[in-house]
Amino acid sequence: MNQISIKDAPPQDSVSSLHFSPIDPFILEATSWDNFARIWQIDGSVAKIMLHLELQEPPLCSAWSADSRVLFIGGANNKVTAWDVSTNQQQDVAEHLAPIKEVFVVPEVDNLLITGGWDKAIRFWDLRQPNLVFEYTQIQKIFSMDVKYPLLVAADSQRKIYSFDITSTPSLYNTIDSPMKYQTRVVRIFNEKDGYAIGSIDGRVGINYLTDSSPSFQFRCHRNQKHEVFGINDISFHPKFGTFATVGSDGEFFFWCKNSRTRTSAGPHRYNKPITKCDFNNDGSLFAFSVCDDWHMGTPNSSLNTTDIYLYNPPESEVKDKPKK
């Protein structure tokens, strides 16, 4: 298999989150604007639907538990639902005053769930009760967030980037104005946890280090020869090599090496619809991405009303890091 598309029960609307299981490289879940969460088992060149859950409101984010027994789903109903995939039972475990944009499990801390919402709040939850144990509200609407213990990075609607140390009691490490001129679409923490990548709506990526040990920089991507600019919708880091993928409204994906500041490869096709989400599996052998409308042109476009999820098996040469020049 080099690339396949999911034919068994694909989403009927745009994909809002996409994640491989943290322990099984052949289990994939996606949430979508048709109010569903779906889980597939990948077997060779076929992806078979395992489970699906219909929700009352569109889901916006999701996260697996460390053992992959529970899928946490946050969304437009202002709540996080814990879906036990072994029993098919559901329980609400977190809540905001507005839609929940981000949800994260922290495997290094037992029973900790972190959420970020459009109510201008980041909340920490103890899943044993469940109870709210910490809240940070000196922030605007959450546009993107990432957690790799002990670092949490959040980007808000006012182009601020917040970095937190969550080792014990969460503490704000620093706040900066985004080095990008335009709105932040996505932030993702490096595997080394010493910085993060920022993707913006103007087709640029920022590589930002927390200290001065390495210089931060930005580069242009997801632009064409006509100088048209396309937003970056998602970023995913390869678990082995630390290279990363970007996907954009131009319907393309690229692989990059931040250490050598080079593009290692481009996807085999340019799709006629945006790519909204992407993820590497836990051994880096599969790269999943969703091709569907991202509404960057406004209201839904009827010509873009189908949704496809692809699984790409990247050769190591495309994703391996390159030495610095």
Report the pLDDT value the prediction gives residue 186, as an integer from 0 to 100. Answer: 99
- The CATH number of residue 310's host domain is 2.130.10.10
Same domain, 64 and 11: no
Report the pLDDT value the prediction gives residue 300, as an integer from 0 to 100. Answer: 65
Same domain, 254 and 141: no
Same domain, 3 and 102: no
Tokens of 10: 């694909």
Widest pairwise Cα distance in the chain = 55
pLDDT tens-digit profile of 188-225?
Answer: 999 999 999 999 999 999 999 999 878 999 999 998 87
> Among residues 110, 143, 177, which one ends one of the domains?
177
Q: Which DSSP state fits 273?
A: S
Angle at 261 between CA 260 and CA 262, to 5 degrees: 90
User: Would you say residue 30 lies in a domain?
Assistant: no
> Among residues 157, 177, 197, which one ends one of the domains?
177
pLDDT tens-digit profile of 103-159?
Answer: 999 999 999 999 999 999 999 999 998 899 999 999 999 999 999 999 999 999 999
Distances (CA, A) of 116 to 62, 121, 136, 250, 308: 12, 6, 10, 28, 27
> What is the span of the domain harbouring residue 130?
55-177
| Cβ–Cβ under 8 Å, residues 59 and 31 | yes
Question: Rounded to whole angstroms, how far apart are CA atoms 13 and 304?
Answer: 10
Question: Rounded to whole angstroms, how far apart are CA atoms 183 and 46?
Answer: 38
- 323 or 278: which carries more pLDDT confidence? 278
10 Å CB burial of residue 168 (0-12, 13-18, 19+) is exposed
| For range 310-323, the mean pLDDT | 94
DSSP 125-151: EETTTTEEEEEE-SS--EEEEEEETTE
Same domain, 129 and 252: no
What is the band of 1 on the pLDDT scale with cuts at 50, 70, 90? low
Q: How much of the chain exceeds pLDDT 90, in percent?
A: 89
pLDDT tens-digit profile of 2-56?
Answer: 899 999 999 999 999 999 999 999 999 999 999 999 999 999 999 999 999 999 9
Element (H, E) at 289: strand 287-291
What is the band of 302 on the pLDDT scale with cuts at 50, 70, 90? low
- 301 or 89: which carries more pLDDT confidence? 89
Of the candidates 8, 98, 90, 89, the residue with the CA atom closest to the CA atom of residue 47: 8
| For range 62-72, the mean pLDDT | 99
| For range 221-247, the mean pLDDT | 94
Report the pLDDT value the prediction gives residue 268, as an integer from 0 to 100. Answer: 87
What is the band of 273 on the pLDDT scale with cuts at 50, 70, 90? very high
- 298 or 198: which carries more pLDDT confidence? 198
Neighbouring C-beta atoms of residue 296, cutoff 10 Å: 16
User: Would you say residue 169 lies in a domain?
Assistant: yes
Same domain, 235 and 165: no
The single-letter code of the amino acid at 73 is I
Same domain, 195 and 310: yes
Average pLDDT, the chain: 95
User: Would you say residue 28 lies in a domain?
Assistant: no
283 pLDDT higher than 80: yes
User: Would you say residue 116 lies in a domain?
Assistant: yes
Report the pLDDT value the prediction gives residue 230, as an integer from 0 to 100. Answer: 95
User: Would you say residue 277 lies in a domain?
Assistant: yes
Question: Rounded to whole angstroms, how far apart are CA atoms 190 and 256?
Answer: 13
Q: Which residues are bridge partners to 72 per DSSP? A: 63, 82
Total number of domains constituting the chain: 2
What is the band of 311 on the pLDDT scale with cuts at 50, 70, 90? very high
Neighbouring C-beta atoms of residue 95, cutoff 10 Å: 18
pTM over 0.75: yes
Same domain, 243 and 312: yes
> Among residues 144, 177, 210, which one ends one of the domains?
177
User: Would you say residue 286 lies in a domain?
Assistant: yes
Distances (CA, A) of 126 to 71, 111, 118, 132, 307: 16, 6, 21, 6, 36
